[in-house]
């Protein structure tokens, strides 16, 4: 009798990123209904929006703009994610007294301050315009300190839809081994910061005796040369690998082919979960 077992194969891609911070999110609305709608933010504050019938003049409180979320950092900030290096200070601020600050003298340091999730009310029948306002004072005297035309210090602001995790894997003929392949990229055939992408195979039943898995794969990611992050075992930047599971995806093991991986501790993994670092529970994946 031949015993069979089921395996599940997954391809994972991880890119490291910075975070997002902000103070006020407003929503411009175009309305065609005839009732009044109350918009309530996650902090409990609310505003009334006056709706008028189609074809008549419309009026929305506060000059056609309704604030759905506001935070001046003067109250409870427990919903913010504040990573090492960032601090709440009274040194300088656009708010009455408080702001987030990070020292520009930190060396080889990447850190984020991330806002709480902001719920956008779904009260419009037509279309919405969202406007994010935040106060920023950027003072980076060493942005190109060694004159090599590469930034030593920099920042970015990012916004993410926390309700979905978009999949950038799609069938494409780009660099396909034959006809089409699964390709993880955006419309420009590149990738962005903070991507963590998965491609899972169907469950595959294989004989209990020796079996061989053959697949054609191509990585197009950042060169790991010189990768190093203080306090971690980082020896590569962006990463992609193949993992295998024989328990329906409950646990995974790294699948290494005849062309081994170039590094062991990609910062792309460690950035998303520190357990990927040496000594962590996900080390080896």
pLDDT exceeds cutoff 80 at 49? no
What the block records as the tokens of 171 is 């069938």
The domain limits of the chain are 4-17+164-276, 24-133
Q: How many CB atoms lie within 10 A of CB 236?
A: 22
Q: What pLDDT is stored for residue 58 in this prediction?
A: 37
Give the pLDDT band (50/70/90) at residue 50.
Answer: very low
Report the pLDDT value the prediction gives residue 105, as an integer from 0 to 100: 76
Q: Provide, rounded to the nearest whole percent, the portion of the chain with pLDDT above 70.
A: 70
The encoded tokens of residue 147 equal 């004159």
- Does 253 or 145 have the greater pLDDT score? 253
Instruction: Estimate to the nearest angstrom the gap between the alpha carbon of 158 and the chain centroid.
Output: 8
pLDDT exceeds cutoff 80 at 223: yes
> Model confidence at 250, in pLDDT bands (50, 70, 90)?
confident
Whether the pLDDT of residue 235 is over 90: the answer is: yes
CA-based R_g, the chain, Å:
24
Greater pLDDT, 279 or 127: 279
- pLDDT for residue 158: 79
Residue with tokens 């520009």: 104
Q: What is the mean pLDDT of the chain?
A: 73
Between 162 and 42, the higher pLDDT residue? 162
What gap in Å lies between CA 175 and CA 96, rounded to an integer? 55
pLDDT digits (tens, 9 = 90+) for 10-29: 555 544 433 333 344 444 43
pLDDT digits (tens, 9 = 90+) for 123-151: 644 556 777 888 888 877 666 667 777 77
The rounded distance, in Å, linking the Cα atoms of 94 and 195 is: 32
| CA angle 16–19–24, rounded 5-degree value | 160
* Phi-psi domain of 73 (left: phi exceeds 0; alpha: psi -120 through 50; beta: other): left
Q: Are 90 and 97 in contact (CB under 8 A)?
A: yes
The model's pLDDT over 78-128, given as tens digits with 9 standing for 90+, comes to 888 888 888 889 888 888 899 888 887 777 777 888 888 887 776 644 556
Q: What is the mean pLDDT of residues 246-257?
A: 87
pLDDT over threshold 80, residue 266: yes
More confident residue, 35 or 168: 168
pLDDT of residue 65: 66
- Give the three-state DSSP class for 274: helix
pLDDT computed for residue 165 by the predictor? 63
Query: Going by C-beta distance under 8 Å and a sequence separation of 6 or more, which residues neighbour residue 25?
Result: 67, 68, 69, 70, 118, 120, 130, 131, 132, 133
What confidence score (pLDDT) does residue 119 get?
78
Predicted confidence (pLDDT) at residue 191 exceeds the cutoff of 90: no
What is the structure's pLDDT at 234? Answer: 93
């Amino acid at each position: 009798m031949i015993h069979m077992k089921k395996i599940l194969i997954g391809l994972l891609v991880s890119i490291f990123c910075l975070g997002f911070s902000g103070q006020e999110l407003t929503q411009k609305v175009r309305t065609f209904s005839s009732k009044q709608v109350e918009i309530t933010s996650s902090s409990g504050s609310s505003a009334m929006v006056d709706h008028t019938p189609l074809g008549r003049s419309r009026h929305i409180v506060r000059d056609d703009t309704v604030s759905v979320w506001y935070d001046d950092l003067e109250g409870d900030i427990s919903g913010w994610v504040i990573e090492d290096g960032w601090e709440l200070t009274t040194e300088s601020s656009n708010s009455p007294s408080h702001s987030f600050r990070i020292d520009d003298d930190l060396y080889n340091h990447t850190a984020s301050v991330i806002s709480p999730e902001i719920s956008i009310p779904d009260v419009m029948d037509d279309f919405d315009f969202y406007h994010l306002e935040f106060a920023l004072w950027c003072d980076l005297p060493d942005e190109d300190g060694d004159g090599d035309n590469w930034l030593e210090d920099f920042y970015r602001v990012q916004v993410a839809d926390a309700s979905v995790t978009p999949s950038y894997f799609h069938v494409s003929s780009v660099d396909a081994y034959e006809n089409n392949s699964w390709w993880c990229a955006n419309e420009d055939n590149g990738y962005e910061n903070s991507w963590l992408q998965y491609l899972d195979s169907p469950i595959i039943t294989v004989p209990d005796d020796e079996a061989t898995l053959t697949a054609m794969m191509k990585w197009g990611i950042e060169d790991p040369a010189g990768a190093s992050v203080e306090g971690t075992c980082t020896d590569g930047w962006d990463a992609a690998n193949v993992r295998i599971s024989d328990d329906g995806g409950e646990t995974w093991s790294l699948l290494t082919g005849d062309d081994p991986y170039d590094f062991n501790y990609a910062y792309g993994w460690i950035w998303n979960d520190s357990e990927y670092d040496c000594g962590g529970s996900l080390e080896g994946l």
